[in-house]
Chain A
């Protein structure tokens, strides 16, 4: 793919120029900027290199075909990453027998749900956080990464997952609880 060094041009300008000229080198700039991040997210969520490669390819094809629909309402990175998470969750769901990828789909909700403070998760040591994220359901991992790594708003997560805002709030709450429970099981001394 022809790649042009145009670091000073914003994503939105690159998209506008691409749509005006249909010059594939502009799409190449976007690919160069985001391919390694998209690929890393795919590997992290799918845990398989071959599936991650296929997913990254499909995601960039989707981006190419829908570039004209990007309105600039959100950041381009947010748009790309929401396509990435949405696609990876679909792949995970298709490859699972029971099709459940979030805690709230797998387990019956407890009568009372204690909200876990954000700080409890944000201050987990990185090596421990990595283990915790490997142990919780893939959907929970994805939703926690969307919230705490990408800084997506509830509305943005809801759009990425095609869920209502209240459903997303519940999924985040259950994912935080699950992560805390796994952490306590593995690392809490008392």
Chain B
């Protein structure tokens, strides 16, 4: 089996250089934390923001589109509780 001195060269380089500095780990962690936070934020709030936007532009929310949740006498809705008689 032939000797591959490229591998020996790179092994020597890795030994000489040693571990990656802790600064890199800290920076990578803060970057990944930021992306994770931004991802969670989008996941939680984006649907709500879109719903508000749809309502503001005259559309109906998903809840109102659902016939089961629509407030009609068929669904037992009898009007506002404090409506004047």
Q: Which residues of A contact B33 (CB under 8 A)?
A: 24
Tally of B interface residues using CB under 8 Å: 29
Given contacts A1-B29, A36-B20, A57-B27, contact A145 B14 (CB under 8 A): no
Return the chain B residue nearest A147 by Cβ.
Answer: B6
Tally of A interface residues using CB under 8 Å: 35
Within 8 A of B (CB), among A146-177: 148-149
Q: Which residues of B contact A149 (CB under 8 A)?
A: 4, 6-7, 9-10
Given contacts A24-B33, A57-B31, contact A133 B9 (CB under 8 A): yes
Given contacts A40-B17, A133-B9, contact A148 B4 (CB under 8 A): yes
Given contacts A40-B14, A57-B27, contact A145 B6 (CB under 8 A): yes
- B24, A122: Cβ atoms closer than 8 Å: no
Q: Which residues of A contact B25 (CB under 8 A)?
A: 1, 31, 35
CA distance A65 to B17 in the complex (A): 27
User: Is B23 interfacial (CB 8 A cutoff)?
Assistant: yes
Interface centre among A1, A22, A123 (most CB of B within 10 A): A1
User: Is B75 interfacial (CB 8 A cutoff)?
Assistant: no
- Chain B 3-35, CB-CB to A under 8 Å as 1, else 0, gives 111111110111001111101111111011101
CA distance A41 to B28 in the complex (A): 18
